Amino acid sequence: MDIEMLVSTMNQTNYDLLKRMNIKNKAVVINQFTNDKSKPPKKIDNETLKFISVYEKGLSKSRNTAIENADNGIGIICDDDLYYYDDVTDRVRTAYQKNKDADIIIFRYDTDGRHKKSFGGEAKRLGYLGTMKVSSVQVTFKIKSIKEKDIRFNELFGTGSSHYQCGEENIFLFECLKKGLKIYFEPISILSIDDNDESTWFNGFDDKSFFDRGAVFTAMSGRFYHFLIWQFAIRKYKIYRHDIGFMGAIKNMYKGHKDYLNMTHQ
């Protein structure tokens, strides 16, 4: 069972990021290039590494290009600011051998900073609610399962999109569940995040973040978006209350809901 790292990055002029990330196994690297002042490295396409530079922007586009260029093993979604443990492939392979019917397995990551989350200490199968706090870098999947069900990341969402800047992983996982794929969580860490580094991860609440979240919830579920909007506003209230009021959060999420419907019905 091949383990393949699916790396999204931008404006790399050499191959050094593989060493920085401690990637030693098979990988597909999608290098989105927007820097007119330098040249991207030459394309590599061999049995262990595909390094592809493309002149485009958008994290979801990058993820989808990686999936298209991956073989039919296990794919690990990777950002370029992460550090993977030496035995990452053994940990992932063991988890899939344990959960033979799993199409997707969500893993933990280690951090001491602002990205720290409580994932629980028990292995379990995840449903819709269980996938809502998952970050993309926790996601691994059988590439064949994703391709056979024709599931991709929604390119209206994610960092670098011209529309909505978050939520692409949650929409992706909801789509997987809708199409009958099985998702498991394993309380095993496969990587670490250095919170001293600059990151494109979420850094606070404002009108736009709630606007985007409303669009995300609508894309996740056209039937239950009301529930998703209200539960989010209630659950996160203590975090955002000093930045924006409760009704302001609700109002902006419904604006995002309407904008997404207009966007997809044009």
For residue 118, pLDDT beyond 80? no
CATH number for region 3-193? 3.90.550.10
List, in sequence order, the alpha helices (H) in the chain.
17-20, 59-69, 88-98, 143-148, 168-178, 207-220, 225-235, 237-240, 246-264
* C-alpha atoms less than 13 angstroms from C-alpha of 147 in its C-beta half-sphere: 14
Residue 131: per-residue pLDDT = 94
Residues of the chain with CATH 3.90.550.10: 3-193
- The model's pLDDT over 195-242, given as tens digits with 9 standing for 90+, comes to 665 444 455 789 999 999 999 999 999 889 999 999 999 999 999 998
Rounded CA-CA distance 154/178 in Å is 15
For residue 111, pLDDT beyond 70? yes
| Strand pairing category for 139-142 and 74-79 | antiparallel
Q: Flag whether the pTM goes above 0.75.
A: yes
**Both tokens of residue 13?**
């002029």
- The model's pLDDT over 134-167, given as tens digits with 9 standing for 90+, comes to 999 999 999 999 999 999 999 999 999 989 999 9
Query: Among 68-77, 115-124, 145-154, 176-185, whose mean pLDDT is lowest?
Result: 115-124
